Amino acid sequence: MRRVATVATCTLNQWAMDFQGNMERIIESVERARAAGARYRCGPELDVTGYSCGDHYHESDTLQGAWEVVSQIMQHPACADIMMDIGLPVSHKNVIYNCKLVFFNKRILLIRPKMIVANNFNMGSREGRWFTPWRKVREVEEHLLPPCVTSVAGQTSVLFGDAVIATRDTTIGYEMCVELWNPESPHVAMSLDGVEIICNGSGALQELGAADDTYSCVRRATAKTGGCYLFANQRGCDGSSGYFAGDAYIGMNGEIVGCAAGYSLAQVEVVTATLDLETVRRYRSLFRSRCEQAAASPTYPRVQVDFSLCSEVAYLPSCDPVVPWVPSVAQQVVEGPACWLWDYLRRSGRKGLLLSLAGDVDSSATAAIVSCMCHKIVDAVAAGDKEVVCEIQRITEDGEYVPSDPRELCGRLLYTLHLPSPPPATHSANQMCLPPSAAHLAHQLAKEIGSKYQSVAVEGGVSAIMESFTAASGSCPRHQHQGGSPVEEEAFDHLHSRLRMTMAYLFAQLGLWSQGQTGELLVLASSSADNIMAGSWAKYGDTSADVNLLARFPKKEIEKALLLWAKDKLNLPVLKDIVDSRARESEGKTLTEEEMAVMRNLQAMEYCGPYSMFSRLMYLWRNTCSLKQMGEKTKAFFRWSSQQRHKMTALATPYYVPGTGPPDIDRPLFYNHTWSWQFTAIDRAVEQLNSEKK
């Protein structure tokens, strides 16, 4: 007879501090797991509260609310006769831990605290601000339960710490999120102690270019140790600026045998697999060096449960491996922000989106992301997702509307404005001027995606404000082509940018009102990471908005990946013309766009200061620049970025992607832009290296 177990993992679209909604999604996942015959359900990290609660974790209300949700879930009929784990913050001996709580039939079996908290600031992880890691390996303590749980469970305390669950037929262990990636992952020691099923609840954000990282880790973990691995991750936007990838996997002896769909709008998805645990035992017993290690392995505390996870069958076909869906970089740049934007829109209470469409690469890329969102909504509706239908009907205030055409839907959700910069003969004569075909390209793109479109001039506002300034100050600013100074020219540019922002917000607030509808629109900005780092934009200008979907992406990914991918996949041929028409603005400049991108990455992602950046560039640019040129470029970059640093405080909320983009705000707001000590060190190095060459 074979011992087989049907297990389930899931991905949930939770919302920080939405206790009621989170509870309902957890219960729905349990119901689906039971319907598939599963006897164990694994859930994402902190699925009771939502992951991105931030400093709410320090509030006693949050801790109490989480326990009240636990008590309600335990009483629900769907949670009978199925073992499951849920995630919540727990205060133990006045220390707050990020925990997994395991229960079965109204009895709490174990609270397992996270032993390695995610503190990689560069990747957007700051758990150490709220949670403390559990340091007592293979140790447990008694934890007193709150009255709301005691009244349901009939128990006053539970084991708290590093332990495993022993049923009548198998053993289940736990690790949480970053513990899988750590050099000393707990699953290794647990597997040596006979644990056959490892459950990992995670709250991991999507990382650009690392779409296969999680499933590769799950596959390698089970290949190295044998056994079954359940990985559950949150999905979508839970109130933070990052996108939870929604990856859920079931691994078995080095293979992936179950996985969730990628970039889905479904709020609950459950992945199940029926596993033959005899194959785990055979896999491990044939791994002789592993057996020698296991024989000397320390023992974990075990919580005994009178429950069988497995059923006995005479025959079971082998569990077929699946090939997980791995998105390309282009798909990550388009579909990740599109799914995140959908959650942001429906949860923000806004009734649509507004975008200033300039016919350039950045604003066109943002429009393509919105178009992708509309395609995904239509696909979800076609697949029978009733929740998406309800959300769309609420947003559009049309209780009969069922979207079937992405272009028609885009026409209901997206309002595009063309706010042209003035021609050189009037005001701005610098790089902010749009190419002659910009208005045509913007209008053509609006037609192809189906959005509403209006062209609105703000030139009259510029003239009126300058006249008021002249009357008040007695000085009349002029453009450079009229004999004015660079300071005067920059003032015109910034004024024009700020008026475009003002007009965008005015339309966002009154656009629906003018058509007899209610509500406001969410304003979208369009600035790539390279543009932000260059600093050639107006503080509180048209880069200011509610959200910026491109702020963490370099220009090369937007131009070469996002637009060209969207051109084919979303049937937007004008995007090719927009890419081809982009003016090369870097000619004659000290730093080109490509050089700025390299230096931005060295500063933001590899933490290079001026001298260490110069040292890296000596290798990277050894065939293209002289040592003196490298030194001058390095100094120009830091001098310019220091002078523009104050603008970072005025950026629109970015769509956050770990491992990309400009430096976060956790640096000084202003600098001594001469960098005298560091720049002198660079000059000395250039002089010394040049003399050695002679």
Tens digit of each residue's pLDDT (9 = 90 or more) over 635-682: 999 988 888 878 877 788 888 887 676 656 677 878 888 999 999 999
Is the per-residue pLDDT at 221 higher than 90? yes
440: exposed, middle or buried (C-beta count within 10 Å: 0-12, 13-18, 19+)? Answer: middle
Q: Which pLDDT band, with edges at 50, 70 and 90, does 178 fall under?
A: very high
- pLDDT computed for residue 193 by the predictor: 95
Phi (first) and psi of residue 233, to 5 degrees: -130, 155
Compute CA distances 122 → 119, 125, 660, 663, whole Å: 9, 7, 9, 9
Share of the chain above pLDDT 70, in %: 94
Mean pLDDT within 54-68: 96
To 10 degrees, the CA torsion angle through 277, 280, 285, 288? -170
- pLDDT computed for residue 316 by the predictor: 65
- pLDDT computed for residue 665 by the predictor: 61
Mean pLDDT within 361-372: 95
- pLDDT computed for residue 430 by the predictor: 41
- Rounded to whole angstroms, how far apart are CA atoms 199 and 393? 38
- pLDDT computed for residue 175 by the predictor: 96
Sign of CA dihedral 424, 426, 430, 433: negative
Is the per-residue pLDDT at 220 higher than 60? yes
Tens digit of each residue's pLDDT (9 = 90 or more) over 556-594: 788 877 898 999 999 999 998 888 876 444 444 667 878
Lowest mean pLDDT segment, chosen from 209-223, 402-416, 664-678: 664-678
Is the per-residue pLDDT at 432 higher than 50? no
Per the listing, tokens 């388009």 go with 334
Q: Which residues pair with 654 in a beta bridge?
A: 548
- Rounded to whole angstroms, how far apart are CA atoms 626 and 27? 64
Compute CA distances 144 → 75, 327, 394, whole Å: 20, 45, 44
For residue 359 the two structure tokens come to 């016919």
- pLDDT computed for residue 425 by the predictor: 41
Q: Which residue has the higher pLDDT, 405 or 516?
A: 405
Phi (first) and psi of residue 166, to 5 degrees: -110, 110
Tens digit of each residue's pLDDT (9 = 90 or more) over 278-314: 999 999 999 888 899 999 999 999 999 999 998 877 5
Contact between 270 and 247 under an 8 Å Cβ cutoff? The reply is no
Mean pLDDT within 336-351: 96
Phi (first) and psi of residue 333, to 5 degrees: -75, -25
- What DSSP character marks residue 436? T
Q: Cite the beta strand spans of 518-604 per DSSP E.
A: 522-525, 547-548
- pLDDT computed for residue 317 by the predictor: 58
- Rounded to whole angstroms, how far apart are CA atoms 73 and 59? 22
Q: Which residue has the higher pLDDT, 438 or 137?
A: 137
Contact between 37 and 25 under an 8 Å Cβ cutoff? The reply is no
- pLDDT computed for residue 536 by the predictor: 72
Interacting residues of 251 by C-beta distance below 8 A, sequence separation 6+ = 215, 218, 219, 221, 222, 228, 229, 231, 257
* Mean per-residue pLDDT of the chain: 90
Q: Which pLDDT band, with edges at 50, 70 and 90, does 423 fall under?
A: low
Q: Which pLDDT band, with edges at 50, 70 and 90, does 433 fall under?
A: very low
Mean pLDDT within 442-460: 92
- pLDDT computed for residue 319 by the predictor: 74
- pLDDT computed for residue 584 by the predictor: 47
Q: Which residue has the higher pLDDT, 484 or 410?
A: 410
- What DSSP character marks residue 301? P
Interacting residues of 483 by C-beta distance below 8 A, sequence separation 6+ = none
What secondary structure does DSSP assign to 234-283, as a single string? Answer: -EE-SSSSB-EE---EEEETTEEEEEPPSS---SEEEEEEEEEHHHHHHH
Is the per-residue pLDDT at 421 higher than 90? no
Q: Return the SS3 of 143.
A: strand
> Of 275, 285, 268, which Cα lies nearest the Cα of 250?
275
Nearest 5 degrees, angle CA 167-CA 172-CA 174? 145
Return the axis-axis angle of helices 438-449 and 406-413, rounded to nearest 10°.
Answer: 120
Q: Which pLDDT band, with edges at 50, 70 and 90, does 215 fall under?
A: confident
Share of the chain above pLDDT 90, in %: 65
Tens digit of each residue's pLDDT (9 = 90 or more) over 91-137: 999 999 999 999 999 999 999 999 999 987 656 678 999 999 999 99
Instruction: Decide: pTM greater than 0.75.
Output: yes
**Count of all residues that appear for the chain in the document:** 694
- pLDDT computed for residue 424 by the predictor: 47
| DSSP H/E element including 293 | helix 288-295
Tens digit of each residue's pLDDT (9 = 90 or more) over 223-274: 999 999 999 999 999 999 999 989 999 999 999 999 999 899 999 999 999 9
- pLDDT computed for residue 587 by the predictor: 47
- pLDDT computed for residue 662 by the predictor: 67
Is the per-residue pLDDT at 59 higher than 90? yes
